[in-house]
């Protein structure tokens, strides 16, 4: 219907507030909720107010729409006030293959457990519309990239969540590598992986007691949580 045209992504996450409180501001445009949106004065719907379902924060419809259009446009919406994520965030990782196997060796600090080895394969190609320079080539350094996780209960949970992140194209992105400085190349994307199995001089190896908890946190920031494993 007309109400949701152009903002279908919000349809399942918000309700329209008929009587917004007159003493609260929209934290996106800093105008009163009862006044017109700072991003759409004079436009149709300038005074429509959306309330997010779970966190109950309120914004002008035109403000939250402008925020979505100028940021990720990735099918999910993040509350600008409390960071609650609505919907599934998807990334722009190029096509490739993720595989894993179990090997009978222990990682330092994880004696008594075997190891899950993850191998990511991505090949160079041409950037799509979702990438920084559509039509231009991108390179891939260091592939296949090989990563290590202890094969214990928490590690197996992390592995499942990493496969969810991979399906949602969140594991890698295309941009500038901070290690090599090269642009238009495939880089890790906010979800840390351990690429060394034997030592931890670089911070990308073992032992590291906090690694599994840290990566669970990083996954949850991307909207990948245990709730994704039940369905």
Which residues bind to ligand APR, rule: CB under 6 A? 141-142, 145, 177-180, 187-188, 193, 195, 204
- Tokens, residue 136: 């231009």
Nearest approach, Cβ of residue 189 and ligand APR (Å) = 7
Decide if 74 contacts 89 (C-beta within 8 A): yes
Phi first, then psi: give them for residue 137, nearest 5 degrees: -70, 155
CB nearer ligand APR, residue 195 or residue 225? 195
Nearest approach, Cβ of residue 41 and ligand APR (Å) = 41
Nearest approach, Cβ of residue 163 and ligand APR (Å) = 18
- Residue whose C-alpha is closest to residue 173's, from 82, 79, 72: 72
Separation CA 61–CA 64 (nearest Å): 5
Separation CA 82–CA 55 (nearest Å): 8
Decide if 209 contacts 160 (C-beta within 8 A): no
Reduced to 3 states (helix: H, G, I; strand: E, B; else coil), residue 86 is strand
Separation CA 41–CA 135 (nearest Å): 37
CB nearer ligand APR, residue 32 or residue 192? 192
Nearest approach, Cβ of residue 52 and ligand APR (Å) = 30
Nearest approach, Cβ of residue 153 and ligand APR (Å) = 24
CB nearer ligand APR, residue 62 or residue 170? 170
CB nearer ligand APR, residue 100 or residue 188? 188
CB nearer ligand APR, residue 178 or residue 230? 178
Nearest approach, Cβ of residue 206 and ligand APR (Å) = 12
CB nearer ligand APR, residue 52 or residue 140? 140
Nearest approach, Cβ of residue 207 and ligand APR (Å) = 16
Dihedral over Cα of 188, 192, 193, 197: its sign: positive
Q: Which residue is nearest to ligand APR (CB)?
A: 142
CB nearer ligand APR, residue 67 or residue 146? 146
Decide if 125 contacts 94 (C-beta within 8 A): yes
Q: How far is CA 94 from CA 27, 162, 176, in A?
A: 35, 16, 15
Separation CA 96–CA 212 (nearest Å): 24
């Amino acid at each position: 219907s007309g109400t949701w045209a152009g903002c279908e992504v919000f349809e399942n996450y918000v309700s329209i507030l008929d009587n917004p409180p007159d003493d609260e501001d929209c934290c996106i445009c800093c105008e009163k909720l009862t006044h017109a949106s700072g991003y759409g004065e004079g436009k149709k719907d300038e005074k429509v107010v959306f309330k997010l379902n779970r966190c109950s924060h309120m914004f002008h419809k035109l403000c939250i729409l402008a925020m979505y259009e100028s940021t990720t446009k990735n099918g999910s919406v993040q509350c600008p006030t409390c960071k609650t994520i609505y919907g599934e965030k998807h990334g722009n990782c190029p096509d490739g293959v993720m595989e894993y196997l179990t090997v009978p060796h222990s990682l330092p600090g994880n004696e008594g457990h075997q190891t899950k080895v993850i191998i990511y394969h991505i090949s160079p190609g041409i950037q799509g519309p979702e990438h920084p320079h559509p039509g231009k080539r991108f390179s891939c350094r260091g592939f296949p990239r090989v990563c290590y996780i202890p094969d214990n209960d928490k590690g197996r949970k992390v592995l499942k969540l990493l496969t969810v992140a991979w399906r949602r194209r969140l594991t890698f992105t295309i941009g500038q590598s901070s290690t090599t400085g090269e642009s238009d190349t495939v880089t890790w994307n906010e979800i840390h992986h351990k690429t060394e199995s034997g030592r931890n001089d670089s911070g990308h190896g073992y032992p590291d007691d906090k690694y599994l908890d840290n990566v669970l946190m990083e996954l949850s920031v991307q909207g990948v949580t245990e709730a994704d494993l039940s369905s």
